[in-house]
Amino acid sequence: MSRRGLVRSATLVGAAVALATAAPPASAHNYVVDTEPAEDQTVTSTVHEVSVTFNDVLLDLGGRSTVVEVTAPDGGHHATACPQLSGPVVSAPVELGGPGEYTVAWRVVSADGHPISGDFTFDYAPPEGTPSATGAHETTCGPAAPGAEDTESTGGSYPGADGTSDEVSPTLLLGAAVGVAVVAGAAVLLALRIARRRGPERDGSD
């Protein structure tokens, strides 16, 4: 094989290595697929629990990494215990007060390790005479843990796969690029060395 052919082969090898060692696709944040009660639903029966279901499992990092707050029109808090995780579902028990629009605000840790947050509302219209609970002045579980900052807020809508954002670490990309360059350079040097060795052998055989 000629030197030009070896260099061309080495270039192809380097390209193949680059494709094989490229940084993997960034994982997307979880997104909401369902809520209970449904967003903007008018509920006429007693509500004992609110929940949010996501497309993937949620991570439990302890402390206040998971939050579900249920707020009445008068600002009272009606979640009666800290939220619970079960796979892709986060839920909290509630005792609602009078009729009106309630807001459910949530914060969880996505399967990719990023905190995400959002909220939704529903209207509560119980039959006349239904007992109502007095909302607390503060949340049941206290303030959120320091440093639990949100990297994405989904608001009150269901973003779906198109509403999530992919994040790639610049350090990861730089490391992958350096690795590819080193491997490709080594392949080219090896090909040139082989070409130099075969040159004298070909001249001696003539």
The whole-model pTM stands at 0.62
pLDDT of residue 168: 41
CATH of domain 32-163: 2.60.40.1220
So what's the pLDDT on residue 141? 79
pLDDT for position 201: 55
Residue-wise DSSP of 154-194: -TTS--TGGG--B---HHHHHHHHHHHHHHHHHHHHHHHHH
Q: What is the pLDDT along the chain (206 residues), one digit of tens a residue?
A: 555 554 455 555 555 445 444 444 455 899 999 999 999 999 999 999 999 999 999 999 988 899 999 999 999 999 999 999 999 999 999 999 999 999 999 999 999 999 999 999 999 999 998 999 998 988 877 554 444 444 455 554 444 433 333 444 444 445 555 555 555 666 666 666 766 766 655 555 55
* Residue of 155, 73, 63, 72 whose CA lies nearest to 106: 155
Amino acid 63: pLDDT: 81
